[in-house]
Copies of this chain bind each other. A is one copy, B any other.
Amino acid sequence: MADELFCKVVSVVIKCRDCEDRRTNVRLTVETRSSTNPVHKKDLIVRLSDDKDPFFLYNLTLGEEDFQSLKNQQGLLVEFSAFPQRFIDLLEQCILEQDKAVPRFLLQLLTSSSVPDSAPANLNIIETNPFKHLTHLSLKLLAGNDSDVKKYLATCIQNLKLENSSLKDKLQQTQEDLSKRLCVTQQ
């Protein structure tokens, strides 16, 4: 069962080894997924996708054990349960700053390959102060393979079909409702 905590289009600076930095908009989704099989555990999912490019997909699945090593590596001071909200707070700070010429907080996607979507990438949240760049968090995301992209697109289709059918209902209801009112008024 997935529980969506955050899903917004954010501005990201993409840096790769052999190409120039570019700024682009991607959709960043944060969700928790619970499973009880074999034991009860909760994973944090971070996903980057692009509404305009169905094949752009980066994923991170972070379990409680992975989080402990991330915590040690990056000197984090929060527990796994508090981490998602802290991460989202940082994302919101990046969003607040993203239209500024010199944003204090920014999201950076660092890829090692010149083709951005064929290798793992680091999603960094960076604060820039007059003295230096400070990396608040660095998450390693994996580019989705064909099977991941396939499953992700199937979910998108399901959601689009739901939206579509609710739009059709609303359109029909609006037509009926207003025609009725028109009819009553004309009498």
Contacts and interface: CB of A to CB of B under 8 A. Distances in A.
A164 B160 contact: yes
A134 interface: no
A11 to B, nearest CB: 22
The A interface is mostly helix, strand or loop, or mixed, namely helix
A186 interface: yes
Contacts of A186: 185
Interface string A35-76: 000000000000000000011000000000000000000000
Interface residues of A, number: 28
A68 to B, nearest CB: 33
B182 A55 contact: no
A51 to B, nearest CB: 9
Q: Kindly list the 7 A-B residue pairs having the minimum CB-CB distance in the complex, ordered from nearest.
A: A146-B146, A178-B178, A153-B153, A54-B154, A160-B160, A167-B167, A146-B147
Given A174-B175, A174-B178, 7 more contacts: A54-B154, A145-B146, A157-B160, A160-B161, A167-B168, A170-B171, A182-B185
